[in-house]
Structure 1
Amino acid sequence: MAGCQLTPEQIEKAVDFHGHWCPGLAIGLRAGEYVLNHMGKSDDEEIVAIVETDMCAVDGIQSLTNCTFGKGNLLYRDHGKLAFTFYRRSDGKGVRLVMDAGRLGSPNSEFTELNRKWLKGDIEPEQKERLMQMRQERTDDIMNSEITEVFEIKEPDEPMPRSARILTSLVCEQCGESVMESRTRRLEGHTLCIPCFAKQG
Structure 2
Amino acid sequence: MTTGDVAAMTARAVDFHGHMCPGLAIGIQAARIGLAVCGHDADEDVAAVAETDMCAVDAIQALLGCTFGKGNLIHRDFGKNAFTFYRRSDAAAVRLVLNPDALRAIDPEFAARREAANRDPANAAAREGLPELARRCAGRILECDPQALFDRTPVAAPAPRRAAILSSLLCQGCGESVMESRTRRFAGQTLCIPCFAAVEQKV
2:171 matched to which residue of 1? 172
Letter in 1 for 2:112: S
Q: Secondary structure at the match of 1:109?
A: helix
Letter in 1 for 2:65: N
Deviations 1:117-164 (A, max 9, x none): 5xx4x45378421x2343133212311111221111222122221111
* Alpha-carbon distance in 2 for matches of 1:59, 1:147: 17
* Alpha-carbon distance in 2 for matches of 1:9, 1:146: 17
2:56 matched to which residue of 1? 57
**Structure 1 residues 162 and 126: CA distance shift in structure 2, 3 A:** closer
Q: Secondary structure at the match of 2:5?
A: coil
Of the structure 1 ranges 19-28 and 9-18, higher mean CA displacement relative to structure 2 is found in 9-18
* Alpha-carbon distance in 2 for matches of 1:159, 1:152: 19
2:124 matched to which residue of 1? 124
Q: Secondary structure at the match of 2:128?
A: helix
* Contact 2:37 2:94 (C-alpha < 8 Å) held by counterparts: no
Letter in 2 for 1:113: A
The normalised TM-score by structure 2 is: 0.87
Question: Deviating runs (4+, > 6 A) in structure 1?
Answer: none
* Alpha-carbon distance in 2 for matches of 1:77, 1:138: 27
Residue 110 (structure 1) shift: 2.8
Runs of 5+ consecutive residues of structure 1 not aligned to the other structure: none
Residue 53 (structure 1) shift: 0.1
2:79 matched to which residue of 1? 80
Give the 5 Å matches for 1:1-201: 6-105=5-104, 109-115=112-118, 120=121, 122=122, 124=124, 127-129=127-129, 131-200=130-199, 201=201
Letter in 2 for 1:183: R
Q: Secondary structure at the match of 1:36?
A: helix
CA-based RMSD of the aligned residues comes to 2.2
Deviations 1:57-87 (A, max 9, x none): 0000000000000000000001000000011
* Alpha-carbon distance in 1 for matches of 2:151, 2:5: 20
Runs of 5+ consecutive residues of structure 2 not aligned to the other structure: none
* Alpha-carbon distance in 2 for matches of 1:184, 1:125: 50
